[in-house]
Amino acid sequence: MTRSSVADTALLARLSREAIPTGEYFRTRTPAGSLPLTPQQQSTNYEALATVSRRPQTAPDHDLTPIRCLTIQPPWSDLIAIGNDRVAKRIENRVWSTQWRGTLLIHAGSEVDPRALALAAVRETLDDDYELERGSVVAIADLAGIHADDGKCTPWSQEGCFHWELARVQRLTTPVQAHGAQRLWKPTQNLLRRITNANPHLRSRLADTNAGGGA
């Protein structure tokens, strides 16, 4: 497979807008079916995706705003919000990377990933009567680092994705409703005020952040 067929313009255009963690772009279709890319082909895709991730986005890498927000489909967002590090999801799988590091608000999207709800690991981690949070900021974390696919570095790591390392995760005792967006986005000052008003225990952690957004 040539570079052009692995990382073609249409594929990169779609990847640059991809908001749902998936490894499907790291497989190639053949007459015999879908097969994994070779390590060399995967490396080519990682290089191409790194180029895409440096393009202007909702909150570009060169913008040093110390706080961002990431919209994630439930139940993945709920798995991140779990306080117990032994069972919680501390790797977020993305097909794109970013140079930005800082305080990351975890926003639960309005649409649920039905495939995830069928996974045994998800059913075992969330209580049977657990009610998924939707359309709200549910947790705060630090984006501590990002590394390329290195296998199952955690039980929640996905093949063919960049693994975003989440640290110091704190659940919001009171989720705060907000509209989400693709890629990294900047929370407004109004949203930050509503978060701290509803969750006073996070006031000191958010005190030094500056969203630079509107009201």
Count of domains forming the chain:
2
Query: For residue range 141-199, what is the model confidence (pLDDT) as tens digits?
Result: 999 999 988 878 899 998 888 999 999 999 999 999 999 998 899 999 999 999 999 99
> Under a CB-based contact definition with an 8 Å cutoff, are residues 161 and 121 in contact?
no
pTM: 0.73
Most confident of 44-48, 159-163, 198-202: 198-202
- Smallest CA-to-CA distance from 75 within 32, 33, 118 is with 118
Instruction: With cut-offs at 50, 70 and 90, classify the pLDDT of residue 53.
Output: very low
Whether 133 maps to a domain, the answer reads: yes
Compute the 3-state secondary structure of the chain and give helix, strand, coil in percent, each to the nearest 5. Answer: 30, 25, 45
Range of the domain at 200: 67-206
Whether residues 44 and 120 fall in one domain: no
Query: For residue range 63-102, what is the model confidence (pLDDT) as tens digits?
Result: 667 899 999 999 999 999 999 999 999 999 998 888 899 9
Whether residues 82 and 183 fall in one domain: yes
Most confident of 47-51, 123-127, 140-144, 155-159: 140-144
Of residues 53 and 21, more confidence is placed in: 53
Q: What is the CATH number of the domain that holds 87?
A: 2.30.130.30
Whether 94 maps to a domain, the answer reads: yes
> Under a CB-based contact definition with an 8 Å cutoff, are residues 139 and 172 in contact?
yes
Whether residues 95 and 35 fall in one domain: no
A 10 A CB-CB count for 15 gives 19
Whether residues 123 and 98 fall in one domain: yes
Whether 59 maps to a domain, the answer reads: no
Is the preceding omega at residue 75 within 30 degrees of 0, hence cis?
yes
